[in-house]
Amino acid sequence: MGPRNLSNASEFLLLQFLEEPALQPLIFALFLSLYLITVFGNLLIILAISSDSHLHTPMYFFLSNLSFVDICFTSTTIPKMPWNIQIQSKVITYEGCITQVYFFTLCIGLDDFLLTVMAHDRFVAICHPLHYTVLMNLWLCGTLVLVSWIVSVLDSFLQTLMVLRLSFCGKVIIPHYFCELKQLIQLACSDSFLSDMVIYFAVVLLGGGPLAGILYSYFRIVSSIRGISSAQGKYKAFSTCASHLSVVSLFYCTCLGVYLSSAATPSTHTSATASVMYTVVPPMLNPFIYSLRNKDIKRVLKAFFRMVAIKRPIVLSWRREHN
């Protein structure tokens, strides 16, 4: 059978984690639990920041945007797996696959840019504390987030176009649990040189650039902290960026681990398992990192749960009286 254009394909098959019927109930419960934890945790962060005026600062503005993107990130990839297990199907439609490619690329780009913007915010806060409110004003913060969205949307659109131009032979079987860009390009029958070059260019420019910005910001931060004479002052300065540094390390270490593991072991099972680490783990752990290491977030969350605990008996009592 000769190559056929992707636009003529009506569906693909997602095989990873679906080969063993005996494990499907466990996988269903695992993926659903991870998804619910991720969404609930990030929603709590957004709710805490929006409900407390003391948290209406640049750092928490960027954090709320990161939490929103993480919800979209996991919603792009995870729900399809338990849904396929529930309906006993391995099929994903052409439209669904292209949608996953687009939003997955968009969200991972946004994560990268937002982490870079947050590193710059911590750099200004520690190295230029007296001018922080002037330098990190509302207009600049909004512009940084808007530019991050625009660049990520354009990059995702270009990457998706590279997939649309490819041709495939016969039945398209994706050895993954979602439509990953790299996997689709590897499965193409047509020449994928241009698509590969676009991916490499995007990784170097839009991946390496933000990473260089983060490293530069933390180099300046460390230099500034070393200049502080008191140990208490050093600890206070470092604690303001400890949460962000933990999230950055988690994001880049999991991404790097995926590519190193796939390069060392060409097994598709190993590659797919490693991909779970950067598509599921960072968005799930980010809320815990910020809530456990940030006293302002902990204070607001404690107040929120205390208020819920007080209101619940009142509501139950009111219902009993009117029943």
DSSP labels, 251-277 = HHHHHHHHHHHHHH---HHHHHHHHHH
Would you state the structure tokens that stand for residue 258, as one six-digit string? 């995926």
The yes-or-no verdict on residue 106 having pLDDT over 90 is yes
258 pLDDT band, cuts 50/70/90, is low
Averaged over 308-321, what is the pLDDT?
A: 58
Q: Given this model, what pLDDT does residue 76 score?
A: 92
- Look at 306 and 56; give whichever has higher pLDDT: 56
pLDDT tens-digit readout, 274-291: 677 778 888 988 888 887
Averaged over 114-119, what is the pLDDT?
A: 95
Q: Given this model, what pLDDT does residue 143 score?
A: 96
52: three-class secondary structure by DSSP = coil
264 pLDDT band, cuts 50/70/90, is low
CATH number among 3.40.50.300, 1.20.1070.10, 3.60.21.10, 3.20.20.60, domain 4-321: 1.20.1070.10
Distance, in Å, from the CA atom of 148 to the CA atom of 110, rounded to the nearest integer, reads 6
162: three-class secondary structure by DSSP = helix
Averaged over 260-274, what is the pLDDT?
A: 59
- Look at 268 and 39; give whichever has higher pLDDT: 39
Q: Given this model, what pLDDT does residue 4 score?
A: 43
The yes-or-no verdict on residue 266 having pLDDT over 70 is no
Q: What value does the mean pLDDT of the chain take?
A: 82
The yes-or-no verdict on residue 259 having pLDDT over 90 is no
Q: Given this model, what pLDDT does residue 6 score?
A: 42
- Look at 176 and 116; give whichever has higher pLDDT: 116
Q: Give the global pTM.
A: 0.87
Q: Residue 116 class from Cβ within 10 Å (0-12 exposed, 13-18 middle, 19+ buried)?
A: buried
Averaged over 70-75, what is the pLDDT?
A: 94
Q: What are the boundaries of each domain within the chain? A: 4-321
Strand segments, DSSP code E, in the chain are 4-5, 11-14, 91-93, 167-168, 173-174
- Look at 263 and 145; give whichever has higher pLDDT: 145
User: Considering only 197-211, 249-263, 301-315, which range has the smallest mean pLDDT?
Assistant: 301-315
Helix 281-293 to helix 231-264 angle, to the nearest 10 degrees?
170
Averaged over 284-302, what is the pLDDT?
A: 80
The yes-or-no verdict on residue 70 having pLDDT over 90 is yes
The yes-or-no verdict on residue 216 having pLDDT over 60 is yes
Q: Given this model, what pLDDT does residue 178 score?
A: 86
Output the CA angle 177-10-92, nearest 5 degrees. 20
pLDDT tens-digit readout, 10-63: 577 887 665 667 778 888 888 899 999 999 999 999 988 998 888 889 999 999
Q: Given this model, what pLDDT does residue 2 score?
A: 41
Q: Do residues 82 and 51 lie in contact, with contact meaning Cβ atoms separated by under 8 Å? A: no
7 pLDDT band, cuts 50/70/90, is very low
pLDDT tens-digit readout, 165-203: 887 776 778 877 888 888 888 887 877 788 888 888 888
